[in-house]
Amino acid sequence: MTRKSRSAPAVSDMGCARVLRIVAAHKGVRRADMLSPTRSRLPIASARQLAMYLCHVMLGLNLTEVGRYFGRDRTTVSYACALIEDAREDNAVDREIEILEDAISGWMETGSRARREVVADAAV
């Protein structure tokens, strides 16, 4: 079994950081507030729940991995995901989430393309 290097952030952490940045900008809240270990006002808490949901769904991370990044228990992440899934019944909320998913997908495709170019350059 190999150990992860403590000096380099995990790929999941980098992905979560990017999702957090996108959601914070979209919702107009500070990233530091979303990562705060204390309970927050509703706008911050709902933005954090949305970011946790998107990390789980878009990045394919399990609830424990998402919880670790956000400093929350996996059951808290599960609750957040359930809330967001229920909220998607509202067409306006669903459209807002689709916009965020498109932004995250675009970032993931750009990152994937950049990694392929680095690998291709190294092979030359």
Residue 37 lies in a domain: yes
Q: Give the number of domains in the chain.
A: 1
84-89 contacts, C-beta under 8 A, 24 or more apart: 84/49, 84/50, 84/53, 85/53
Confidence of residue 18 (pLDDT cuts 50, 70, 90): very high
> Closest by alpha carbon to 44, among 60, 68, 67, 20?
20
> Residue with structure tokens 């979560």?
16
Residue 26 lies in a domain: yes
Residue 18 lies in a domain: yes
CATH at residue 52: 1.10.1750.10
Q: How far is CA 42 from the centre of its chain?
A: 19
- Distance, in Å, from the CA atom of 2 to the CA atom of 84, rounded to the nearest integer, reads 36
pLDDT in tens, 32-89: 999 998 888 999 999 999 999 999 999 999 999 999 999 999 999 999 999 999 999 9
